[in-house]
Amino acid sequence: MQELRKERLDRGVKVRADSIYAVSSIKEVLFLTAPGLILLIILLVMPLFLSPYWQRVLAITGVYALLAIGFGFLANYVGLVCLGGALFVGVGGYTSGLLNSTFDLPIYFTIPVATVIGALICTILLLPCLPLRGVYFAIVSFTYPLLGARLIAATAVFGGTDGIAGLDVIVSKWTVIYLVVFVIIIVVFGLSRLVNYEDVGMVIRGVKDNEQAITASGINITLVKAQSVYISAALGCFGGAYLTHLYGWVGMSLLAVDFSILPIAATVVGGIGNVFGPLVGALILGPVSEALRAFGTLRIAFYAIVMVLFIVFWTEGLVEYLRRKYEQFERWVKV
């Protein structure tokens, strides 16, 4: 009987790195761009076939996706495990809500201002913690939203436990959904270019891999980390401001632990090796989480079980697994 073995062929067109390709035909161009185009089409077309309720769910899932992208960016490229997603959402939400309620500013002004100013506030708060790494930075960043919620409840500032109601809302249902979709598309494209850019991307990755080499090059590591935290915080602050004017209310719920936990689970499910992994993970876990709403806080147990299963049995995540299968062709050949 003739023995067979499995032969694996690489169908990629890379020359020596992820950013260098040898493209000689339209077919190879489509090979490179097809996964991204498929994801783009899904994001743009999917809302058209959803009911208003699930459109709202998708909009909230988009906020989790932004938080997951920011978490994956800091963890994978900068080496900072930031569990302060709830801090970013809370600061962005309260900033936009206060600007709208106190100064009666329109939401098309308060949302971008809250994104920029809120990210600056978050970066300043985390600035003393930037020399920390690993579990130490994770613990400190996780305590910030908890501390913020307790301070608001104890001092009754910013409306206390009742929050601030009567804020302007985004009226058009299509604006609600496609605003966050377009922001996600811009963020994914922008971060992909940033981390693969020869100069800036090399410095950012070097902070995680070899801080001594970056310091020896005369580059301020604290500044690079602060800039990276600002980018991640801006994503969360936009999400918080967006949710504030989605509900017309801002309160302590924006500092909830869910905004720190679900992005981690989404990153583990999708994979941390690239920008697309956290996005795909969030698009999967967001609707599933909503479907499990009847189980209440047991949803946290679901996240924990999913994370354990993926960490133990499928460490690379969905996106990396699919990418490997897409770029390789397997066939049986005679020995």
Indicate the domain borders of the chain: 53-334
Q: Which of 118-127, 199-208, 280-289 comes out lowest in average pLDDT?
A: 199-208
Instruction: With a cut of 90, say whether residue 193 has pLDDT above it.
Output: no
What is the pLDDT averaged over residues 239-266?
93
For residue 230, give the amino acid letter: Y
Per-residue confidence (pLDDT) for residue 231, from 0 to 100: 96
Per-residue confidence (pLDDT) for residue 110, from 0 to 100: 97
Q: Where does the pLDDT of residue 333 fall: very low under 50, low under 70, confident under 90, or very high at 90 and above?
A: low
What is the pLDDT averaged over residues 86-93?
97
DSSP secondary-structure letter at 78? Answer: I
Residue 133, by phi and psi: left (phi above 0), alpha (psi -120 to 50) or beta? beta
Report CA torsion sign: 310, 313, 318, 319: positive
CB 255 within 8 A of CB 148: yes
Instruction: With a cut of 80, say whether residue 118 has pLDDT above it.
Output: yes
Instruction: With a cut of 80, say whether residue 162 has pLDDT above it.
Output: yes
CB 35 within 8 A of CB 325: no
Instruction: With a cut of 60, say whether residue 17 has pLDDT above it.
Output: no
Percent of the chain residues topping a pLDDT of 70: 91
Question: 3-state DSSP call for residue 316?
Answer: coil
Q: Where does the pLDDT of residue 335 fall: very low under 50, low under 70, confident under 90, or very high at 90 and above?
A: low
Per-residue confidence (pLDDT) for residue 113, from 0 to 100: 97
Instruction: With a cut of 90, say whether residue 5 has pLDDT above it.
Output: no
Q: Where does the pLDDT of residue 18 fall: very low under 50, low under 70, confident under 90, or very high at 90 and above?
A: low
What is the C-alpha separation between 290 and 55, in angstroms, rounded? Answer: 12
CB 151 within 8 A of CB 251: no
Per-residue confidence (pLDDT) for residue 87, from 0 to 100: 97
DSSP secondary-structure letter at 74? Answer: I
Per-residue confidence (pLDDT) for residue 139, from 0 to 100: 93
Q: Where does the pLDDT of residue 324 fall: very low under 50, low under 70, confident under 90, or very high at 90 and above?
A: confident
Helix ranges (DSSP H) in the chain: 26-45, 52-73, 85-103, 107-126, 135-155, 173-196, 200-209, 211-216, 221-247, 258-270, 276-291, 298-313, 317-327
CATH 1.10.3470 is right for the domain spanning 53-334: yes
Instruction: With a cut of 60, say whether residue 38 has pLDDT above it.
Output: yes
Per-residue confidence (pLDDT) for residue 198, from 0 to 100: 64
What is the pLDDT averaged over residues 225-236?
96
* The model's pTM: 0.92
Percent of the chain residues topping a pLDDT of 90: 58
Q: Where does the pLDDT of residue 20 fall: very low under 50, low under 70, confident under 90, or very high at 90 and above?
A: low
Per-residue confidence (pLDDT) for residue 214, from 0 to 100: 81
Supply the mean pLDDT for the chain.
88
Q: What is the tens place of the pLDDT at every residue in 178-189?
A: 999 999 999 999
Per-residue confidence (pLDDT) for residue 298, from 0 to 100: 76
